[in-house]
Amino acid sequence: MPLNFDSSRFGPLEIDADAVIEFPAGLIGLGGAKYALVATDPDAPFAWLHSVEDAEIALPVTNPWLHYADYSVELSDADTERIGARNPGELDVWVTVRAASELADFSCNLRAPIVVSKGRGHQVINEAPDAPVRAPLFPEPAAVQAA
């Protein structure tokens, strides 16, 4: 069954109602509990985690492994239990993207990934010691930095 909602970025949208992700604890700093992933191109590396309840709320997100091959997510026992997925293959992991006027200033929040399993989403704290809040998304090549 389709679900229609408005977007301040994309206008009226229609998605399959089964595509709604429920966030029982919400998202850090945002209201609402129902979101959907919206992609303008299914092959694009970025999507929007868009509230289906508020046309103004949409976060740019990406799959972290497209940009950080060695990224890992380590969850506390409490988060693992709350998510309820025993197999990592049952999880989709997204990280929020911080856009800026210059590509060099774009970053991803690797410390607070969004984990989705069976239609339920949870923003968790990544216990991995090397997961920064602002990881450069487009780091300058080493040759440019050395110059």
Mean pLDDT of 64-87: 88
Q: Is residue 120 part of a domain?
A: yes
- Please state the domain count of the chain: 1
Q: What's the farthest any 2 CA atoms get from each other in the chain?
A: 57
Question: So what's the pLDDT on residue 146?
Answer: 47
**pLDDT of 35 over the 90 cut:** yes
Q: Is residue 143 part of a domain?
A: no
Q: Is residue 145 part of a domain?
A: no
CATH number, domain containing residue 48: 2.30.290.10
The whole domain housing 48 covers: 2-138
**pLDDT of 79 over the 70 cut:** yes
Q: Is residue 133 part of a domain?
A: yes
Mean pLDDT of 9-35: 91
Q: Is residue 18 part of a domain?
A: yes
Residue 77 amino acid letter: D
Q: How far apart are CA 56 and CA 80, in angstroms?
A: 31
Residue 144 amino acid letter: V
Mean pLDDT of 22-51: 91
Q: Is residue 79 part of a domain?
A: yes
Dihedrals phi, psi of 13, to nearest 5 degrees: -125, 150
What's the count of helices (H) and strands (E) in the chain, helices before strands?
Answer: 2, 11
**pLDDT of 6 over the 50 cut:** yes
61 bridge partner residues:
47, 96
